[in-house]
Chains A and B, each alone.
Chain A
């Protein structure tokens, strides 16, 4: 199983279109938003998590 950490690490090392890669990454929205709250905004992880959060919004049940 691919963890969020693995996805983030892969995207941080990505040298192409980051937005496109993040759009099709398979992640859990809740996990992404939780991780984003604790991430440094001015870091590569923060950049990637913001993109993942954009394409994986939290849905209200």
Chain B
């Protein structure tokens, strides 16, 4: 679907994830389909239906995209070397969240991290009014840590590693 011809001033970003202990991650094509696909993960607060998803209560939506991947060449005697872009790996998302042992989403994340082989579909939604632009990707979770030091609120930290090339953009 074509992107809406509007800007989203002051949009609200939120993060969503598939529910279920052993989810079936979306195929790559469906990651770019809003209706009946991505919308089922995104909740009603971001204009989805949320039937098979839950919000991930994160402190902040992390940067996402791709890492810088280049092959550098230098030839003896030449003044400038050359950086040739190569296909870059997707950026891993290191996320902090308030640790709540009753939070369904965080418990799924913890289970995924213990397993290490569970592919799950995640969605980062940018919503403004009735317009939402969604970035959906498949990823695996690792490095789940709980920091319960007494001087501050307990929090957990984990990293989502997106699977290569398994992403899509969609919108309402």
Q: Contact residues of A with B, CB < 8 Å? A: 11-20, 41-44, 46-48
What B residues does A43 contact at CB under 8 A? 33, 35
Report the Cα distance A41→B69, complex, angstroms: 32
User: A13-B27, A15-B138, A16-B165 known; 11 other A-B pairs, CB under 8 Å?
Assistant: A12-B29, A12-B30, A16-B28, A17-B164, A17-B165, A20-B165, A43-B33, A44-B29, A47-B29, A47-B33, A48-B29
B132 → A minimal CB distance (Å):
13
Q: Contact residues of B with A, CB < 8 Å? A: 1-2, 25, 27-30, 32-35, 37, 138, 164-166, 168, 170
Most buried by A among B2, B28, B30, B164: B28
Most buried by A among B25, B29, B35, B165: B29
A42 → B minimal CB distance (Å):
4
What A residues does B33 contact at CB under 8 A? 42-44, 46-47
15 A-B contacts (beta carbon < 8 Å):
A11-B29, A12-B29, A12-B30, A15-B166, A17-B28, A18-B165, A20-B165, A42-B1, A42-B33, A43-B33, A43-B35, A44-B27, A44-B30, A44-B33, A44-B37
Report the Cα distance A57→B168, complex, angstroms: 22
What A residues does B164 contact at CB under 8 A? 17
Q: A42-B35, A43-B35 are in contact. Are A16 and B166 (CB under 8 A)?
A: yes
**B2 contacts which of A11, A18, A41 (Cβ < 8 Å)?**
A41
